[in-house]
Structures are given as C-alpha cells and as structure tokens.
Amino acid sequence: MSPATNPGLHQELKNAVRELCQTFPDTYWRELDSQRAYPEAFVQALTKAGYMGTLIPEEYGGAGMGVTEAAAILEEIHISGGNAAACHAQMYVMGTLLRHGSDAQKKKYLPALASGELRLQAFGVSEPTTGSDTTQMKTFARRAGDKYIVKGQKIWISRAEHSDLMLLVARTTPIDQVKKRSEGLSVLLVDLRHAQNHGLTIRPIRTMMNHATTEVFFDDVEVPAENLIGEEGHGFRYLLDGLNAERILIAAECIGDGRWFLERACRYAKDRIVFGRPIGQNQGVQFPLARAYANVEAASLMVAKAAALFDAHQPCGPQANMAKLLAADASWESANATVQTYGGFGFAEEYDVERKFRETRLYQVAPISTNLILAYIAEHVLGLPRSY
C-alpha cells in the first residue's frame, strides 16, 4: 500500500508515530548523547507498537506495509527530534530476507522479529581495507559440510552490540576464481548470541555522534549452511536490494532532520529580538532558510518516487541514490542555516541543534558518500566512462 492510494492511512501512521515520540522529548535524547548510550526504551516502545515489523508480511505477524510507510515512520521520528539510527537497519535489512530468504528461514525468524523476541539490526558489509569497494572484501566463508567457517574483519557495523542477528556479506569463492568481480559473494544470517562465544569479537568505536557503531572480528566463526540467504555466490545482487532500501530510508530520515532544523530555526528567528526587531525579518536570515526549505521539499519528492518504485519491485538504483544524495545535502544545508540563525546558542547543548547537527552530518559520508553517488550517476545514468 502507498500514500498515493491511501493518504488517510499514511497520515494516521505519522500521527501515531508523532504521539509515541512525544514521550521521548529532547531531554531524553540529550542525556543519551552525553552518555553515548543506546536508546533501549525508545526501541522497545517502537517494537511494542509494531513499527519494527512494518515490512514483515501479516502472515508472519508484521504490518505488511512497504518501504513508503517505513520511510514515513523514520521521517516522523526525525521530525520529532529523535534518531532512528538505533533501529532503522531492521527495516532495510529485512528486504534481503523477505525477497531472497527461503520459506523455512522466514517461518523461523520473521515472527520472532515482528514480536521483538529477536532483533536483526546489524548489517556486515564494510571492511577496513576495502571501504566502498565491496567486491574486494576479504572476509571469507569457507564451506565445510553443513556449515560455513567465517574468517575476517568488518568495520562500521552499527548496533552489533544490540542485535541478536547479523546479515553478513562474505566471499565464498576467491576473487581470482570468478569471471566478474561481483560474483562469488554470499549472504549469511549470523546468530550473534552464539557467535560471540565462539570466535566473534565486537569492539565499540567511539564517534562524534551517539551511533553505537563497532568493529567486528570473525575468527573461524561457524555458521550453519541453512543460514545461507538465497544461492551461494549471488549475494551481490541480494545486497543491492538491501542497499537501495537503506538509501531510501536514510534519505527519509534526512528529510525529517531538515524539517526539524527548519522548524526550530524559524521559531527562533521569529522570537529572537536584536536591534529592536526579530532577526527573521532580515533577508540575510530569511533567504538561507527559504532555500533550505525548497531543497528539503524537492528532495522529499525524490524519496517518495524511489520508495514507490521499490515497493512496486521496479528498478530503482538511480532514484534511491539520488534520493539519498539530495536529502542528505538538504538536511546538511538546513543544519548549517539553523546554526547560523541561532548564532552562539546553536553550539549550546540545551538547544539540541548541535546534537542534530552532528547526527545529520553523518549522512554526507554514510552509508555511502556523496562523491560515490555522483560517480554512480555519472556512469550508470549519464553513460560517462567509469571513474574507479
């Protein structure tokens, strides 16, 4: 279902999420940020309300909705001043399991994920030595009878400490034995609860924002062969499905951030009196905010288009990438304009602008940098020579 066919449901969903988020005010997020703590209570509330099962079909206990509705949920969390990075992976990782998992895997995991009994929050892709060059990853899963033996290292794996399961991408065929470098990659569902006592080590990485990200080491970790998602060696294609959903949903969060910044900036600009008049009366304050608003609204249209294509099972790589690029740029523009509007108070913790400023800055870099998106568009949309 989509907002185009059922706008009433879409607005009802946003209203319900907004009401839930009101029970987690700025002070909640500010305190977590100061402690670099995981928002456990918030994630549990979202799960109890059924939002973590948004994409899970009703037959497995979920809501049976699409990426369009998931995007609306995440956008509303960010409009409310929260940060969905603590739990958004369960939505975009879910696409890989839903589209390429076996019936047995779905029956085993989806009901437990929908109810909150299990969490699938970790996505094991990035590595220290390969970065965005995914096809060159070194983590290897060797088949040994009815199991895979995994050895390697992943980095920037967010929420690994707060997840029961990880969707892991690893090589199952050495790169020198495949015709195309995208071949020979496979996707495995790793039970972190078991693996942490049997060869897996999780090391937290402290960052400039409260993001619960880690480095993960695999030292001959055993994964049952039945946990292979889809066919061995076809994982790169499955990964792309998950990445498109990831880009769309994070773009929706950026739209939420942009709207949060603009609401705060405009409110402050109307209330702040300098030289006997509100600073919002000055065009030097007005114009950056007006331009940021226009760009947020334009980016939101691309997010909606990409989500609709994804839900219709249509190719959406260009649209998903452009949505993420435009939304991340718009939110960052809004963040800068808001700090400039607040002046010195924009750097004070009690106004929350500096916290959201740090949080939204991440999306210029992750989950894919703006430069790589531009390179993708140049090659795959404009037909220009490959640059890397």
Sign for the pseudo-dihedral over CA of 263, 265, 266, 270 = positive
Burial 269-297 (b: 16+ CB within 10 A, else e): beebeeeeeebbeeeebeebbeebbebbe
CA 149 to chain centre: 28
DSSP classification of residue 186:
E
pLDDT at position 3: 42
SS (H, E, C) the chain: CCCCCCHHHHHHHHHHHHHHHCCCCHHHHHHHHHHCCCCHHHHHHHHHCCHHHCCCCHHHCCCCCCHHHHHHHHHHHHHCCCCHHHCCHHHHHHHHHHHHCCHHHHHHHHHHHHHCCCCEEEEECCCCCCCCCHHHCCCEEEEECCEEEEEEEEECCCCHHHCCEEEEEEECCCHHHCCCCCCCEEEEEEEHHHHCCCCEEEEEECCCCCCCEEEEEEEEEEEEHHHEECCCCEHHHHHHHHHHHHHHHHHHHHHHHHHHHHHHHHHHHHHCEECCEEHHHCHHHHHHHHHHHHHHHHHHHHHHHHHHHHHCCCCCHHHHHHHHHHHHHHHHHHHHHHHHHHHHHHHCHHHCHHHHHHHHHHHHCCCCCHHHHHHHHHHHHCCCCCCC
Distance in angstroms (rounded) separating the CA atoms of residues 134 and 127: 8
pLDDT at position 1: 41
Side chain identity, residue 211: H
* pLDDT per residue rounded down to tens, the chain (388 residues): 444 457 787 899 999 999 999 999 999 999 999 999 999 999 999 999 999 999 999 999 999 999 999 999 999 999 999 999 998 988 888 888 988 999 999 999 999 999 999 999 999 999 999 888 889 999 999 999 999 999 999 999 999 999 999 999 999 999 999 999 999 999 999 999 999 989 999 999 999 999 999 999 999 999 999 999 999 999 999 988 788 999 999 999 999 999 999 999 999 999 999 999 999 999 999 999 999 999 999 999 999 999 999 999 999 999 999 999 999 999 999 999 999 999 999 999 999 999 999 999 999 999 999 999 999 999 999 999 999 8
Q: Which two tokens stand for residue 188?
A: 């495995």
pLDDT at position 90: 87
What phi and psi values does residue 189 have, to the nearest 5 degrees? -95, 110
Q: How far, in Å, are 142, 322, 323, 327 from residue 341 at the CA level? A: 56, 28, 27, 21
Maximum pairwise Cα distance, the chain:
79
Report the predicted TM-score, pTM, of the whole model to 2 decimal places: 0.95
Q: Are 213 and 206 in contact (CB under 8 A)?
A: no
Strand partners, 203: 215
